Structure 1
């Protein structure tokens, strides 16, 4: 089944909605009017050739046009082994240590019509090749093995390199958002602890960080959990029946790929913390939780709008389907489909029901048009295997440049006994080693001070170096915690170059998503730009007034201290229900 046919088939669940047009318009207007450009799925697939279902050998040096891929897999010669090894090695490098490989389809898309014996021989050949690459493989999808109507066996394999050091650990950050009581913390507890919930919140207790969170059962801070997968795509779980929990160090030692979940607050009064978590933690994906019995209520639409405004791909998880009547579940699905297909979202909802849907959705998720929807129960375990399989093969999307100078954004600070001041954040570019001198700032006066990296931890494991794209913690020398605030940065120290400049004023191209009246000069709002979170006022703009839907070039000035910004960074400004997005175009002073 093609992607187009599959989407048409999946969407048939919700296209027959009996909602009136005015009701659909009301739901669509409830979301912020985010203008998204029409993406080109074909171009994105070409750019992300790593996850193209057709196995191609692009190097003429290793291409043998006289032999099909089926012959190379079943009757492999030394040249065939060399060609396939080159193909897999290249794709593993492109995929940062992992890639999908499809068996059963030729280079031109024709089926191989593999018998069971031929399929087993193909797996043996693949096993020999991945062993040479110091990797393992696992079958994530298999079709036609027990189906007499399908011609031949088709399978999708996940090939993943074995981990040598924690420095090479593949990490994907996912922000978990949704309304209060949507099941965010419970799902993370079930996924990471390997146990089902008892229906009364047993699985989520270990995720809470504060006493009032345990008492109220609601998250108020930016929490975090990790889920690891080894080179054979098996989740790294706590040992069953022992009562012992694996530490992060043990998980990272056994895992090859780690998904870092950022558990964000669902209550409206913690919206500022939620927005900071979605901008400061630099998530690659957003997992939107929707309670089947409640639907798209409260902050659900708000969180979806923020994810869309930041351009982050979204996957939807409908929870509590075990306790929801069928008619209520159907209404929730209809409402969800209406909102996702509205002008504000322009998403293609795709209900994931089989492993085939999982593979196809993960391959095309980078297009930002597809929105996979999972229906799960944390009590019965229904749908959890599909979600776990999807997370296992989910490709890393964001590309970071290690050739650029070192740049690190601070989003959390700690004071550790016998260690000193420790900062946590995201490596935006460059490479850093223990003992390197760096600049930290800007302080309240806009100056940068020199310090030294005493130690580096990644997922609580000591490492000698860190690279761009990783979330790491640094122990700093001779720096007081009181002198550090969220939004400060660490930059490369170079005595031959002038100190970096920070800005109290900057210019940005903005789009007003919603405002009840008009925006004028001297208007103040909270600006979120990466880890920066500070109130700024409008000092000038090219129009006299700004209303909902208007675009304009606007100059902002921070109220308190200057900040270190980079041109091209995406920003959000909000004040009450007023919301806007923008991009930094110029740094003024």
Structure 2
């Protein structure tokens, strides 16, 4: 997946059209005004790689639309016009890529046919300096012209080289953040998005998150070709049965049943944008994750960690990236990653640490150590499919060994107290013991059997 970035009217869509032969601007207003308003899509073959392109709007007014499409990209095509040079949205778009950790990219200095060569060289040097310290530090800067064809072969070769090093992550837990939904004649509800983390197939049952709506995949298309099965790292259209067009929209997520859980309070790492010195905790913020946007409040913070409270639940897992935007200043101010989708009390949560770059099994084990006990399904959903290897399992519940020892000691104490108070009774009812321990009956039975 290759995504554009850069200031308004710097030639992103024109460049995509030259590269792919397809106009990414879909709306009549976009064509009339010569201005990208919403996300555009195209595709082509780079060497032996079929590449999807996501074209984003550059105007600050449509930054929300830009953020809805940029998170899933593997390679950035950053565009700076030779006749204007580095501009405010160039800086903000670079900050977004930097906060999302997009470190594969190329810079195209466009419109070189409109200016003298000295100015082209000056813009290229300035752009290289602006990239310093960002995730795109060291990216190749290529002077190009979509009009004359200058540098286009070099740009195609660089994009092909960057794309060849991409291996889409497959966790067996597919998700598709919806960026378009519509009704097609004779087909019904269709949604489009960039498929991540696993494959989907025709007839798969799916869930629309966070609503929890059931649907079935009636048909799949990728790059306008029908397919029976599609893997991660591609633009995909899903024809969904059992679902009305009005029940799903941009910002919803399609995934497999039982694999995802939604949360409205979560622990994150926070990194201020390159141009932000301090992040006020009392600001009005909007969180952008996948194609969704949510009002959030910073409940508490400690160092680089913060607890966020969202207006509505968001399907998420440890390691998911997001962008934080100040709605008052209409400016991207920070980004980060989810550390715990379901943390405990504020003070204790801010004192915990989860490494989002660990393998899923290790993440699941860390979450279990923090929580003490949890269901295996929830641990898998929050860790990206992990299973805690050293956990003590009681039916559908996993218990951390240290927590299990504490529970066993408490259970023995509760039983002794019960016998002293009621010497003629047979014992403590299992339901009562489970309630006193804060466990379900299966887990309580496992504690009793171990004592």
SS state of the match for residue 10, structure 2? Answer: coil
Match of 1:471 among 231, 235, 246: 235
In the other structure, the counterpart of 1:218 is 35
1:314 corresponds to 2:105: yes
2: CA distance between counterparts of 1:261 and 1:305?
20
In the other structure, the counterpart of 1:257 is 49
1:588 corresponds to 2:342: yes
Match of 1:345 among 134, 139, 142: 134
Q: Unpaired segments of 5 or more residues in structure 1?
A: 1-172, 194-203, 234-255, 348-368, 543-550
Match of 2:285 among 522, 525, 532: 525
Question: By how many angstroms is 1:515 displaced?
Answer: 4.9
SS state of the match for residue 332, structure 1? Answer: helix
In the other structure, the counterpart of 2:431 is none
Could you say what the CA RMSD is over the residues aligned between the two structures, in angstroms? 2.3
Match of 1:454 among 218, 232, 236: 218
| TM-score normalized by the length of structure 2 | 0.70
1:379-411 Cα offsets, whole Å, 9 max, x none, are 222211211233344334443454523433322
1:335 corresponds to 2:126: yes
1:409–1:426 CA contact under 8 A, matched in 2: yes
Q: Unpaired segments of 5 or more residues in structure 2?
A: 344-451
2:176–2:193 CA contact under 8 A, matched in 1: yes
1:220–1:265 CA contact under 8 A, matched in 2: yes
Q: Cα gap change, 1:556/1:450 in structure 2, threshold over 3 Å: closer, same or farther?
A: same
Q: Cα gap change, 1:377/1:580 in structure 2, threshold over 3 Å: closer, same or farther?
A: same
Question: By how many angstroms is 1:218 displaced?
Answer: 0.8
2:318–2:340 CA contact under 8 A, matched in 1: yes
In the other structure, the counterpart of 1:555 is 307
Match of 1:191 among 14, 19, 34: 19
| TM-score normalized by the length of structure 1 | 0.54
Match of 2:173 among 402, 405, 411: 405
SS state of the match for residue 269, structure 1? Answer: helix
Match of 1:372 among 132, 140, 160: 140
1:569 corresponds to 2:337: no
1: CA distance between counterparts of 2:27 and 2:113?
30
In the other structure, the counterpart of 1:93 is none
Question: By how many angstroms is 1:516 displaced?
Answer: 7.6
1:284–1:397 CA contact under 8 A, matched in 2: no
Question: By how many angstroms is 1:510 displaced?
Answer: 0.7
Q: Which stretch has the larger CA shift, 482-491 or 507-516?
A: 507-516
SS state of the match for residue 300, structure 2? Answer: strand
1:487–1:533 CA contact under 8 A, matched in 2: yes
- Which structure has the highest strand share of the two? 2
1:16-35 Cα offsets, whole Å, 9 max, x none, are xxxxxxxxxxxxxxxxxxxx
1:454–1:477 CA contact under 8 A, matched in 2: yes
Question: By how many angstroms is 1:449 displaced?
Answer: 2.6
1:381 corresponds to 2:141: no
SS state of the match for residue 307, structure 1? Answer: helix
Question: By how many angstroms is 1:511 displaced?
Answer: 1.9
2: CA distance between counterparts of 1:403 and 1:340?
32
1:304 corresponds to 2:94: yes
2: CA distance between counterparts of 1:529 and 1:397?
25
Q: Cα gap change, 1:215/1:414 in structure 2, threshold over 3 Å: closer, same or farther?
A: same
Q: Cα gap change, 1:486/1:372 in structure 2, threshold over 3 Å: closer, same or farther?
A: same
2: CA distance between counterparts of 1:270 and 1:406?
28
2:285–2:297 CA contact under 8 A, matched in 1: yes
Give the length in aligned residue pairs. Answer: 338
2: CA distance between counterparts of 1:393 and 1:585?
33
Question: By how many angstroms is 1:586 displaced?
Answer: 0.8
2:325–2:331 CA contact under 8 A, matched in 1: yes
